Structure 1
Amino acid sequence: MTAMTKPRSRLGGRAARRSSRSAPKFDMLPGLTRALPTCEVMDPDQIARIDAASMDILENVGVVFRDEIALADWRRAGAKVVGERVHLDRGLVRDLIATIPADFTYHARDPEKNVRLGGPHSIFVPMTGAPYLRDLDDVRRNPTLADLAMFHKLSHMMPALHSSAHHIVEPYDHPISQRHLRITYSSMKHSDKTFMGMTTSPKNGEDVMEMCAILFGEAFMDEHPVTTGNCNGNSPLVWDETMLGAMRAFCRRNQPVLCSPFVLGGANTPASVPATVAQLNAEALSALAYTQVIRRGCPAIYGHYLSTVSMKSGAPMAGTPEISLMNFMIGQMARFYGVPWRTSNTLGGAKTFDAQAGYESATTLSAVIHAGANYIWHSAGWNEAGMHCSVAKFVVDAEQCAMAHRMASGPQWGDFEQALAAIPDVGPGGHYLGHPHTQENFQTAFFMPDLFDNNPIGQWVADGSKEITERALAYARRMLDAYEEPRLDEGVNEALLDYIARREREIPAADALNQDF
């Protein structure tokens, strides 16, 4: 039995109850099944306009596929190929994306942590790719493999996070050319939730697939999604050899990829929300269609990264109204095509975990929940436009996702009659604090955040006047002290380490530690 499922003994007394309420709770929440209506900002005619504009882009402008294998694949599929530019007939596109599953289940190392994706089913996934971290002392510095392991442990323990992702932070103390092996192993070793696989090159993608086959079995993988790749487009309208090769590595093994145009609104898209969505939609559809050229019926996810660009500095911005509007629109387009979709969550552009970071993150979180997103990535830690992952923000973001999980699940009616029966018992002018129904349900009826301080100011001062960053870092330390590793099978662990050792002998590492990325 793992730390996630270990039963807790009941202790009596007020102090024990207070201690129980303040102790970290590690049981993973089930995947979110949304019960809230989605925010629909476009009417059917406007959806049709976006679809028609995107299909016109695909047919008449075309999309560049800088990859000889992909160009040959498209020729065989019946597309018009002129040099590197592929012109996709709308009928061909619709035929191909119709074979993408509308929903599927991710299979985790612990089957109790399997999660469904698509339709009303959503999951929260931590951020990835930060070249810096703000550590347990809130110091901004370069990360190491130990820091990556720390974030994977926190991902394992935070209830609302359904994945350990992959390179939450970049481990600078390991050669770039070999990093993907250690990153994948850390994801597998320190958590038994689903995880992401590196797509930094076609061969790196193949390595991830081989390691997944060791962990889950080749035959099981061929029938069950166990990991997720991400393939970023080069907006406007370009897919390159690196991403397409990695996409083939995943799709051939029936593993889903996020087909993600990288939007910097106003810089690599038109300075218009609807026109940006039309271009992004065309880019995403071209990649989604290609996944089905690689392997019909393999799962794939409509992806994107959304940011708008400050015309003052050229820097990407987070939490702007246009990003929310685009999320609403993209959600409608993904549902129009019947495919799952990915978005980014709790994004902050602030340099510290301050009010700006909180406002930006809360705005984004609210929008993606009401947009009906499925794969909700970058859900914990993202700040400074993704340049660092903050430990403090990581745990607070994760708790915010737990709150969003509660809200998006909708009102719970299971004890409605019993609660109503308390009203005549209490009567006019009374209170419910001592009523048996309240005593039985007070810990679950209303969400009580662990990381927000709602005490009177006198109590807050007596407790040291601690602000959110200090409280969050103390909480993270307590969690890490309580961490119990969900141990890998010894034979599987040895096979993974043997594979890593062999590949590290084969992959040149000279000067890699001195490279930028």
Structure 2
Amino acid sequence: MTETPLAPPSARRSRSRGRSQSPRSNEPGQNLHLRVPYITRNIPTYDLLSEEALDRIEATAERILAEIGIEVRDDPEAVRLYREAGASVSDVSANAWRVKFEPGMVREILKTAPAEFTQCARNSANNVVIGGKASVFAPSYGSPFIMDIDGTRRYGTIADFENLVKLGQSSPWLHHSGGTICEPTDVPVNKRHLDMVYAHMRYSDRGFLGSITAPERAADSIEMCRILFGSGFVDNNCVIMGNFNTTSPLVLDGVTTQGIRTYAEAGQASIHLPFLLGGAVSPLTMAGSVAQCLAESMSSCALTQLVRPGAPTVLAGFLSSMSLRTGSPTFGTPEPALGSLVMGQLARRLQLPLRCAGNFSTSKMPDGQAMQQSMMSMMSAIQGGANYILHSAGFLDGLLSMSYEKFVMDTDMCGALHAYMKGMEVDEDALGFDALAQFGPGEHLFSTDHTLRHYETAYWDSALNDDQPWETWSEQGGIDAAQRANTRWKKILAEYEAPHMDEGIDEALKDYIARKKASMPDAWY
């Protein structure tokens, strides 16, 4: 699935009429040379640990799976698949089973999983590769609250959800629309997945994540993709991913395993993420957390291959430290960043795509703490070789809040990372000898031919930073970064234009949503 597939019918129609679907630039001509549908890294990964140390972590993960095992709850079909593959199974209760795997068994099962795959978007120019040297940035995920510096911290709504999809679509520095960008609490729990998936389809033309909160909601997400792309296209291509959490420590609940099976049966991709809080649900030593993360994610990924060998699957890790004085999670700290580097090494050993880290922060404002913590965490994903980086924009308040201001601050930083990951060219032109030779010693280089050739593309240019002298900045009101970001997100939304969608497809999606909603009473919990 690494080849770029033909565009689905909906995408081909959308390109044949209306304007271009690519997101507009931050400013006219700004950073256009860096725009790509996903990043192909031209910098090396940072390999923190020796092969001997990695062997010890892998051996501990295998020991966890063999001697402690994974508890599977409320899904006898998943248990049957594991048992038939050779796992030993013992009853824990009427609806729970302890599943143990001999050393090497899970690794052998995972050999059928692709090292990389393509997720298709409705605009095929926005298809992304997941795996290999590709890195894909997506917005943050799962926050119940919305925050802005106008004084708001409130529960998210479907209007906020749509706004955030629009902000993501408008940024050239994100590659993927993400999933539950915020929780739209004004829509019933059992129906909001329909509105969220539709918002991604309607207000973005990039890839997205579907629902995972119940197997029937996962099925709805895939069925809506069949309407959007066409059933035949979905049968032969990955068009949607699900982001599944294990229940740490060492539990796979039935909602999760049934959702995983639903995506895998349809040939769609799934991400397998332990959310590990050191000292609470994992050892507080980072090597121990990484070993547990590997064990949980591998065993969850393996289920996809037992359902459908070759189904796209993504190894993942969400590693977090904890304040041992208060018991609160801490994000953007150095120890989990080191853990993300090691997860990169382990994923490359397994030849699986990796999701980890992102722009994490526990700050309550889009301030210096927020960006310092975010950079610590995000750089670990970049240096560690992460392929799919969820939480690339908007993460604040320990993931409890999605911030409009931090969203655009983070996407600006993602633009800088495009330049960083592009690496450095070293050829005759890049070495710039003629720039010095043209006028000789003691002469400035502003008007040299070399400068004039390269001045538009030599450096990344922020759309948000203020790099003026202090006097000019002060005369213009002394506006800080958060205030500039506040102005910027409002301007982006005011200028947003939705990508074209075929009217017939749009009506079919709306009809599907209306019928599904009418088939069940509202549920608010």
What is the TM-score with the length of structure 2 in the denominator? 0.92
Among 32, 48, 51, the alignment partner of 1:44 is: 51
Paired residue for 1:12? none
Among 96, 111, 116, the alignment partner of 2:129 is: 116
Paired residue for 1:13? none
1:340 lines up with 2:353 in the alignment: yes
What secondary structure is seen at the aligned counterpart in 2 of 1:297?
coil
1:75 lines up with 2:83 in the alignment: yes
> Within 5 A, what are the aligned runs for 1:418-429?
419-429=432-442
User: Cα RMSD between the aligned structures?
Assistant: 2.0
1:199 lines up with 2:199 in the alignment: no
> Within 5 A, what are the aligned runs for 1:168-187?
168-187=181-200
1:380 lines up with 2:393 in the alignment: yes
User: 1:310-339: CA deviations, max 9, x gaps?
Assistant: 101111101111111100111111111110
Shift of 1:222: 2.1
| Alpha carbons of structure 1 residues 508 and 210: separation in structure 2 relative to 1, 3 Å | same
2:327 corresponds to which letter in structure 1?
Answer: G
Task: Select between 431-440 and 495-504 the one with higher mean Cα deviation.
Answer: 431-440
Query: Are the counterparts in 1 of residues 69 and 99 from structure 2 also a CA contact under 8 Å?
Result: yes
1:246 lines up with 2:254 in the alignment: no
> Within 5 A, what are the aligned runs for 1:71-470?
71-83=79-91, 84-135=97-148, 137=150, 139-413=152-426, 416=429, 419-470=432-483
| Alpha carbons of structure 1 residues 80 and 225: separation in structure 2 relative to 1, 3 Å | same
1:290 corresponds to which letter in structure 2?
Answer: L
- Counterpart-to-counterpart distance in 1, 2:214 and 2:420: 39
What secondary structure is seen at the aligned counterpart in 1 of 2:297?
helix
Paired residue for 2:4? none
1:62 corresponds to which letter in structure 2?
Answer: G
1:505 lines up with 2:512 in the alignment: no
Query: Are the counterparts in 2 of residues 3 and 26 from structure 1 also a CA contact under 8 Å?
Result: no
What secondary structure is seen at the aligned counterpart in 2 of 1:304?
strand
What secondary structure is seen at the aligned counterpart in 1 of 2:456?
helix
Shift of 1:257: 0.7
| Alpha carbons of structure 1 residues 438 and 146: separation in structure 2 relative to 1, 3 Å | same
What secondary structure is seen at the aligned counterpart in 1 of 2:444?
coil
| Alpha carbons of structure 1 residues 422 and 41: separation in structure 2 relative to 1, 3 Å | same
Shift of 1:56: 1.2
> Within 5 A, what are the aligned runs for 1:15-34?
20=28, 29-34=36-41
- Counterpart-to-counterpart distance in 2, 1:371 and 1:417: 28
| Alpha carbons of structure 1 residues 409 and 221: separation in structure 2 relative to 1, 3 Å | same
| Alpha carbons of structure 1 residues 271 and 6: separation in structure 2 relative to 1, 3 Å | closer
Shift of 1:136: 7.2
1:62 lines up with 2:69 in the alignment: yes
Q: How many residues are matched?
A: 502
Shift of 1:47: 1.1
Query: Are the counterparts in 2 of residues 4 and 26 from structure 1 also a CA contact under 8 Å?
Result: no
What secondary structure is seen at the aligned counterpart in 2 of 1:426?
coil
| Alpha carbons of structure 1 residues 251 and 136: separation in structure 2 relative to 1, 3 Å | farther
What secondary structure is seen at the aligned counterpart in 1 of 2:522?
coil
Shift of 1:401: 1.0
- Counterpart-to-counterpart distance in 2, 1:421 and 1:134: 51
- Counterpart-to-counterpart distance in 2, 1:6 and 1:349: 30
Structure 1 runs of 4+ aligned residues shifted over 4 Å read 3-8, 24-28
Query: Are the counterparts in 1 of residues 284 and 321 from structure 2 also a CA contact under 8 Å?
Result: no
Query: Are the counterparts in 2 of residues 251 and 298 from structure 1 also a CA contact under 8 Å?
Result: yes
User: 1:264-294: CA deviations, max 9, x gaps?
Assistant: 0111111211111111111111111111011
What secondary structure is seen at the aligned counterpart in 2 of 1:42?
coil
- Counterpart-to-counterpart distance in 2, 1:26 and 1:148: 30
Unmatched 5+ stretches in structure 2:
1-17, 92-96
| Alpha carbons of structure 1 residues 188 and 283: separation in structure 2 relative to 1, 3 Å | same
- Counterpart-to-counterpart distance in 2, 1:27 and 1:426: 31
- Counterpart-to-counterpart distance in 2, 1:7 and 1:420: 36
Query: Are the counterparts in 2 of residues 307 and 317 from structure 1 also a CA contact under 8 Å?
Result: yes
1:474 lines up with 2:487 in the alignment: yes
Shift of 1:434: 2.2
User: 1:214-266: CA deviations, max 9, x gaps?
Assistant: 11122211221111101101111001011111111111111111111110011
Query: Are the counterparts in 1 of residues 140 and 392 from structure 2 also a CA contact under 8 Å?
Result: yes
What is the TM-score with the length of structure 1 in the denominator? 0.93
Shift of 1:164: 1.1
- Counterpart-to-counterpart distance in 2, 1:154 and 1:25: 18
Shift of 1:477: 1.7
Query: Are the counterparts in 1 of residues 34 and 419 from structure 2 also a CA contact under 8 Å?
Result: no
| Alpha carbons of structure 1 residues 6 and 289: separation in structure 2 relative to 1, 3 Å | closer
Query: Are the counterparts in 2 of residues 197 and 228 from structure 1 also a CA contact under 8 Å?
Result: yes
| Alpha carbons of structure 1 residues 26 and 225: separation in structure 2 relative to 1, 3 Å | farther
- Counterpart-to-counterpart distance in 2, 1:382 and 1:260: 17
Paired residue for 1:14? none
| Alpha carbons of structure 1 residues 100 and 320: separation in structure 2 relative to 1, 3 Å | same
What percent identity do the matched residue pairs reach? 36
1:82 corresponds to which letter in structure 2?
Answer: S
Shift of 1:30: 2.7
Shift of 1:193: 0.6
Shift of 1:414: 6.7
What secondary structure is seen at the aligned counterpart in 2 of 1:303?
strand
Query: Are the counterparts in 2 of residues 26 and 158 from structure 1 also a CA contact under 8 Å?
Result: no
Shift of 1:2: 3.6
Shift of 1:405: 1.6
